[in-house]
Each structure stands twice: as structure tokens, then as C-alpha cells.
Chains A and B, each alone.
Chain A
């Protein structure tokens, strides 16, 4: 019985915290938010230099071959820093879609480059219906003589504008989980057009990807009908857990900022943190964050070691931390008062990121219903 982080994980946590405090302060986050593409290649290369871009990628493909709990520890720190850039799209979504597949030639071609930070990948999953289940995928994959032809519109695709390749979920049969295949589409493929979708959270960049008669060779198929949805469900669970980790770090940061402000800001002749109305808001944040941290660790552990509990643990963590992050940033903004509503103060960076994290990869309502089904209510 050891429900805690290992020494290595604690070391990773500390080095990530130090690194991001130095390399990714709010000024840097704002600078990227102002930029056109929200991408700093130099920064991404530094992440690669730490080995993090290949954290989940097996050693045989140039990565560290570590586990989801390790990455959750790292993503918590990235959430604390509200880190912008395509790390999540590339080193989680694209990497895991490939890692779990049997497409060895594609893996050999792309995974080492994702691990080294040289290539950026992403996953094109959602469409107009915004459905996270398999019915949401209606993009067609029709068989041709040499491969497949893709037609459809993908929405809310993370960082497609800077991606060197994307893994596209498309359907070769009309219905169900068994009609979904995954394809690797490189940048510049004929018939692909990428358009930015400006969003409220400037630390994440979303795109529309239109696929019009995009021809890909058979060798571009990452997964066939028998495996496509299986891989995706596992990727979605991982994404839910890791976004929950991002929520945790962000919530902790918002709490820390609120507490610091409550100690310094004086009204009615004393620090506002001396008033119970403010104190109790802070205490409520703590009492929501701490048990949620334990829930998150378990969800990551279950993904790695208890496969039969992984899906429901992922849903629990994502549902809870979506709520907790949003509530925490809401309270933190309120404790800051008027200054918290300004563009100038940093707290809105986390407030907006909370909203993004809440909606992405299934909101709390979605995951609670999924839990109800999985737990057999």
C-alpha cells in the first residue's frame, strides 16, 4: 500500500515547476497569446530537451517510455503555468494515437520526431455535432484503388495550423464503433485546408480542418475498423485524465494567487483575508482541491495498472476537476475584486483555461452520465 508519488515523480514535479516558473511566466504566456500562431518553436525544443515531448513514447521510438501518472504530474505543472503551445496535441493526442496502434512504419517515421520536438502532430476528432462518442464521426473514408479518399469537416482541432501531421478519425462504414479508422495526413496534403477558430482561451489554439477529396495511400492508415475506436477511446480517457491534471495545477495556482492577494489587499483597515467571508471561500477551495488530487492520481494509476477501472476513473477525475477548476477560478476572480476583471491582471488566463478544460474531452455532465452507465446505476 503506497498511495503517493515516487521519488522520481517528485523530482519530475519539482524540476517541471522550476523550469516552468523560469521559462513560462505569465509574461511569456501573454506574449504567445498575442502572437498569430501561439507557438514558440524554441520553447517547444526546450520541452523536448527535458525529454517531456517523448514522455509517453516508448524508448524504441526515442521517447522515455514512462506512464500516464508521470505525465499527469508534469501536466499538473503545465496547468499551473497555463502553458500555451502544442504540447498536449502533439505529445499526448497524436503520440498516443500512434503508440497504441500497430502501424509500425508510421510509428517509426513519426514518433521519434514527435519525441525530439522536431515534428508537431495533432488529432482531428470532433465534428459539427461536437459529440465525443463514435456517432460524432461522420467524415467519410472511401476505399480507392491505392488507399482511401477522405471527405468531411473536422472542428475544434487543436493546433492544426502548426501541425506537421494530423491523425484523422474517419468512418468507412455507416454506423457504430466498428466503422472507424484512423489515418495519418501530413501537412500540405492536397485537399486539406486549415482555418483558425479564434477562441476565448488564448493559451489554446483551435482550428477547422476541411478535408475535400483528400487521397491517402493505404500505408497512411494508422488503424483499421477493428481498432480505430478502441484506440480513440483509450486516447480520450488519457486526454480526460491529463486535462484533469491540468485543471488541478491551474486550480492550485488560482488558489495561491487568491490567498496571496487576500493577505496583501486591505479594506476596512485590515487585510481582506481576515474576513471570514473571504477566508471561508479559500478554505472551500482547499477542501475541494485536495481530495480531487487523490482522485486524479488514482485515475492515472488506473489507466496504467487497472485497465478495467480506467474508463470510470477517468470520467470521475474529469467530471470532478472540471467543476473544481471552474469554481476555484470563479472564486479567485471574486477575491481579487475589480482588478481580477481586468485584462491587465493575470488571473483571467486561468479563468479562461478552466472554461476550455471544462468543455474539452467531455464536460462534467457528459462524464457523470458516462460514470452512471459504467457503474450500472
Chain B
């Protein structure tokens, strides 16, 4: 066990930090995530990703032949951590970089790779994910969106839901049912759909925060060339699963959780409750300490997983444990903040007297969304108990 970084790694970190200091767009620092599809904001976000790409800090883990940096895991981690510390804006092309890119590298033809991969990195193409449907949430394989092969085209009819970025995405990677007669996991295909195709309509869905973060997407006789099929026909479930559990580098997200906790601590020290700082109340101290311990545990847990990755040990159900624990922890931190704020925690962003620009109530709601999105806590518990502990599958 040795928690120090090598001089080379420290130097790399300094280089990244210096570059970020000079280049993180200042007015983006406190901006809310992309929501309304404002074209100026989208342009700015694309420019930011391009800048990061040109500087060599994007797709750190991608092979060089596809435009990546082929950096080792520690370097990837350092970049992720520094991005969070610099409060850099998120990446508009994240779906492409994290999901479609790795899928194409593994299942795409050379032609498909040449066509899509470079434009993912340069933010020329923004991708959205067409997985969930009104009748297919946790039970994703129950999806019904139909793609019928007519000649060398698919004709797509159906509906997707909770589709983030669909308002401005250029492409969707989409799971469609190509063989309705087959068992549910076996009749699915993975296709790429041009979002400008005739027959697609996108309707924004307003989240409980009041923002339109995601959408419903409707398909009416949408024509998709057969060449846009990834992997084999009817084998889309395997293609999707290969990247569904795509390893996320965790340290970036635990750094974010730490920052959130630091914000909570500042709040507790500065807000008075009944004549003394909230942080002086013995009950609140207990709960803050408990949160701090859970945050620190996840930090060291991320170090451990990083080490396992370096040593090429199988990740097992680690990703599910992370998802379950981190999302609930983030929500608990925001909930505690709201409680400390008392009546001030009830104020909307636009209200007079609002605290911390109204960010805590938004966080409180947004973090609950993350407990649900990407596989609910209950689904993660099924995965942990079935794949991790070998308990019998339910039905």
C-alpha cells in the first residue's frame, strides 16, 4: 500500500491543473447543466470539448488509432479529478465518448468506426441514448419499438423516453425490436439513427426541478439504412450489455461528492439554528460525521478499485455497489443541507433571501433522479445479490 504518486504523475497533474486554470471557461463554472437546448450554450459546450480534445485531455483511455490518448489509468484518474476540482463544465459529448465510442470499437465495422469515431471526439456529432420506453424501464428487454427490415432499410415505429440531449443530438444509438417472435432478449438489434430523419419528433419532459433535462422521442415510419446496424441482426442485447456496465472511472465522481460534502459543512458552520451555528448542535454533528465517514469510505474505495484496475482484476459487481452507494450518499448530503437551511431550504432560485443561489433544493431533487436513473437502487441490489452473491434469479 502506497498512496503517493510518482514525480512524473505529480508533474502531469500540475500540467493539467495549469492548463485548466487558463482554459476552463469562467462563465461556465457555475452554470446549470445543459437544459433548454439554447444554441449559444450548445456552441460554447462544443467549443469546450473541442478545446479539451486539442489539448490532449479528452478520451484519455481510448486507443491512439481512434484518436484517444492511450493514457494509463492513473493519468485518466488525474485528469478526471482535476476537471472536477477546476469545476470544469461537463462534456456535451459524454454519451458518445462513454457509450457509443467503446461499442463501435468493439462491434463496429472499420467503415463505421471511420465514419463516427472522429466526430464523437470533436463534438461534431452529439449522441443520445435510445433505450428506455414507457413500458420498458427496469425491464429494458421488454422494449417494443419496432424496426422492420424492408429491403435494405429498417422502418422504425415506436417511442423512447427519458432521452437526455435528444433536443440537440445529431444521432441516437437505439435498441429496437427486429424479431417480435423471438424471446424478449433475442429479438433486439442495436442501430444508429440520424436524428434529422423524417418521422422523428422530440417532446421535452419537464423534471421535478422544473428543468427540461430529458425528452420523449417518437418514431413514425423512420427509415434507417441497414448499414447503420451495429453487430449482428437480433444480437443488440449483447452489444448493449457490453457497454452498459462500461467501467466508469470513479474517482471523478467521488471528488464531486467530496466537494458537495464540503459545501454542506460550510453551510452547517455558517447557518445559525436557534442562536448557534448548526454545526455546534450535537445531533447535527453526529449526522455530519456519519456523512463524512461515508464520503471518505467511497474515496478510499475508489483508490482500491483504481488499484484493482491497474492490476487487471475483474471489477465484478463493483460498478453496481458504486452506483447504489454514491447516488444515495449524494442525495443524503443534499437532504441534510436542506434540513439545516430550515425554511430557507424551501425557497426557489428566484426568491429573495435565497441561500447558495438556490442550488441545494435543486441538488436535493436532482440527486434523487440519479438514484433512479441508470438502473434504480433496487435493480442494483438485484445485480449485487444475483451476480455477486449467486442468489437465485427472481422472476
Contacts and interface: CB of A to CB of B under 8 A. Distances in A.
B279 to A, nearest CB: 5
Contacts of B292: 316, 371, 375
B265 A295 contact: no
Contact of A283 (B1, B9, B304, B380): B380
B394 A316 contact: no
Contacts of A5: 1
Contact of A286 (B2, B288, B321): B321
Given A273-B392, A282-B391, A286-B321, A4 B289 contact: no
Contact of B289 (A283, A292, A301, A372): A372
Contacts of A276: 378, 381-382, 394
Contacts of B289: 319, 368-369, 371-372, 375, 377
Contacts of A275: 394
B293 A319 contact: yes
A219 B203 CA distance: 85
A6 B2 CA distance: 10
Interface stretch (B110-118, B295-303, B339-347): B295-303
Contacts of A294: 297, 300-301, 303-304
B311 to A, nearest CB: 7
B393 interface: yes
B60 interface: no
B392 A372 contact: no
A4 B1 contact: yes
Interface residues on A, range: 35 or more
Nearest to B296: A316
Contact of A69 (B1, B282, B301): B1
B161 interface: no
A275 B74 CA distance: 41
Interface in A275-304: 275-276, 278-280, 282-284, 286-287, 290-295, 297-298, 301
Given A274-B394, A291-B325, A4 B311 contact: yes
Contacts of B307: 1-4
Contacts of B386: 279
Interface string B365-395: 0000000000000101110111011111110
A264 to B, nearest CB: 11
A82 B163 CA distance: 51
Main secondary structure of the interface of A (DSSP, over half): helix
B391 A1 contact: no
A270 interface: yes
Contact of B308 (A4, A279, A282): A4
A316 B293 contact: yes
B324 interface: yes
A262 interface: yes
A263 B392 contact: yes
B324 A287 contact: yes
B282 A369 contact: yes
Residue among B269, B282, B303, B317 with most chain A CB within 10 A: B303
A75 interface: no
B321 A2 contact: no
B389 A282 contact: yes
A253 interface: no
Contacts of A14: none
Given A287-B325, A294-B303, A365-B286, A274 B3 contact: no
A141 interface: no
B382 A279 contact: yes
B106 interface: no
A50 to B, nearest CB: 22
Given A294-B297, A295-B300, A368 B2 contact: no
A320 B292 CA distance: 11
Interface of B: 1-5, 9, 74, 265, 268-269, 279, 282, 285-286, 288-290, 292-294, 296-298, 300-301, 303-304, 306-308, 310-311, 317-318, 321, 324-325, 378, 380-382, 384-386, 388-394
20 contacts: A1-B310, A4-B1, A4-B307, A4-B311, A263-B392, A271-B392, A273-B385, A274-B392, A274-B394, A275-B394, A283-B388, A286-B385, A286-B389, A301-B1, A306-B3, A365-B286, A372-B288, A372-B289, A377-B279, A377-B288
Given A295-B300, A377-B268, 15 more contacts: A2-B1, A3-B1, A3-B303, A276-B394, A279-B382, A279-B394, A283-B384, A283-B389, A286-B317, A286-B384, A291-B321, A298-B300, A305-B3, A368-B293, A371-B289
Interface of A: 1-6, 69, 259, 262-263, 270-271, 273-276, 278-280, 282-284, 286-287, 290-295, 297-298, 301, 305-306, 316, 319-320, 365, 368-369, 371-372, 375, 377
The 8 A-B residue pairs with the shortest CB-CB distance in the complex, in nearest-first order: A368-B289, A283-B381, A3-B303, A279-B385, A283-B384, A294-B301, A294-B300, A273-B391
